[in-house]
Amino acid sequence: MRAWMCMNCGWVYDQATGDPMSGIAPGTAWEDVPDDWKCPDCGAEKADFDMEEI
């Protein structure tokens, strides 16, 4: 399985759960996550995420 992962801390974006604590509703596709959204764990930019095999 592949997923978008923060390369600064390893947090994984799960489309099914989104990131409700940061206003990203469950089901939100990665492409629809705003560019100014930040990793909820470490604050890295969306651009710091890579698609990784998990």
Partner 1 sequence: MTVMPKLEDLVDQSFDPFVVEKLSTGDCPDPYPRIHELAARSPVIEGSYRMQFTDVPDAQMGHLPQVMVLGYDAVLHVLTNPEIFRNKEAFAPNLGKSFGNTVTVMDAPEHTRFRKIFQKAFLPQVVAKWGESVVDPVVSRLMENFIHRGEADLIEEFTHHYPFQVIYAQVELDPAQGPTFHKLAIAQLLSSIGLPQGPEASGKLGAFFTELLRQKRANPGPDLISHLANVEADGEKLPDDVLVSFLRQLMNAGGDTTYRGTSVLLTALLTHPDQLAAVIADRSLIPAAIEEALRWEGPVSSTFRYCSVDTEIMGHPIKAGTYINTVLASANRDPEKFPEPDKFDIFRKNTVRNLAFASGPHLCIGQHLARVEMTRALNAILDRMPNLRLDPDKPAPAIIGHLLRVPEHLWVKFDVS
What is the contact surface with partner 1 in residues (CB under 8 A)? 5, 7-10, 12, 21, 40-44, 52-54
- Of 8 and 15, CB closest to partner 1: 8
- Nearest approach in angstroms of CB 27 to partner 1 is 19
- Of 25 and 54, CB closest to partner 1: 54
User: Residue type for 31, please?
Assistant: E
CA distance 53 to 37: 22
Residue 47 corresponds to which tokens in the numbers above?
A: 């651009």
CA distance 26 to 54: 20
Residue 19 corresponds to which tokens in the numbers above?
A: 């990131």
- Of 15 and 52, CB closest to partner 1: 52
